[in-house]
Amino acid sequence: MDAIWFVLPWRGGSASGSPLPFFYLHLEKRGGGDILPRQLVIGKETGDFMNREKVEKLVREILSEIGEDTQRDGLKDTPGRVAKALEFLTRGCSKTPNEVVNGAIFESVKDNMVVVRDIEVYSLCEHHMMPFFGRCHVGYISRGKVLGVSKIPRIVDCFAARLQIQERLTNEIARAVKDAIDAEGVGVVMECRHLCMMMRGVEKQNSVMMTSAVLGSFHDDPSTRAEFMTLVKGV
């Protein structure tokens, strides 16, 4: 199975003269010859994918709507700070896995399992735009090529720094690792706390959500999957 990233220009014009956005289109070629779109990411050529002034204005309007005085000392600069924070927290929208891996793929022995545990994860739930956070564990078996160890957390951040749900985030990380080195198998386990169900709604402060994605031999071979889970638990 082949995975291909295309960068496609936006067909609309830009009346303001601001940088034109682009699409990152991720296509997957399956064994039968079918080519299926897997993922679409929108960004801008400069990496500046957000109109900060517009966001500041909108934040100021929200503060006013909830009854705050936007001119008091503590809130004067809040719209700008929120805009910068959102730009940082969604920075993954302008990145692809190929960019963050940046060619750091190296020859190695085949069939060995590589596991990176306890990678910190911070993301925003797309339903309420509230944070969820926790740990991610990634493992793979190589076919003779390995990723530079720092590239695994970078792949995690690439997908976490977007509006997300944990289920999709887990799967996207697994797919990206597998595609990057044509791994024999990949496993990803994620455990996170979601503020959208801790601070509001059902208000369950001790709840932890766990998700997993297993591909290739991690999916097909129970003993491989069991080895991965044992290493994740640190037993």
Q: Respond yes or no: is residue 127 known to be catalytic.
A: yes
Q: Respond yes or no: is residue 137 known to be catalytic.
A: no
**pLDDT band for position 114 (cuts 50, 70, 90):** very high
**pLDDT band for position 27 (cuts 50, 70, 90):** low
Give the separation between CA 99 and CA 228, rounded to whole angstroms: 27
Give the separation between CA 131 and CA 234, rounded to whole angstroms: 27
Residue that has been written with the tokens 């991610």 in this structure? 136
Give the separation between CA 71 and CA 87, rounded to whole angstroms: 23
Q: Respond yes or no: is residue 219 known to be catalytic.
A: no
Does pLDDT of 34 surpass 80? no
Residue among 28, 45, 128, 191 flagged as catalytic: 128
Sign of the C-alpha dihedral, residues 13, 17, 20, 21? negative
Residue among 61, 99, 127, 167 flagged as catalytic: 127
pLDDT tens by residue, 4-23: 545 454 444 433 333 344 44
pLDDT tens by residue, 180-196: 999 999 999 999 999 99
Whether this prediction's pTM lies above 0.75 is answered by yes
- Nearest-5° angle of CA 133, CA 219, CA 156? 30
Q: Respond yes or no: is residue 194 known to be catalytic.
A: yes
Question: What pLDDT shows up at residue 36?
Answer: 47
Tell how strand 105-107 and strand 2-9 pair up.
Answer: unpaired
**Helix locations, the chain, DSSP H:** 52-65, 78-89, 97-101, 151-160, 166-181, 217-220, 222-233
Residue among 61, 120, 126, 167 flagged as catalytic: 126
Give the separation between CA 87 and CA 161, rounded to whole angstroms: 10
Residue that has been written with the tokens 């926790």 in this structure? 134
Q: Respond yes or no: is residue 120 known to be catalytic.
A: no
Question: What pLDDT shows up at residue 109?
Answer: 87
Residue among 125, 136, 158, 192 flagged as catalytic: 125
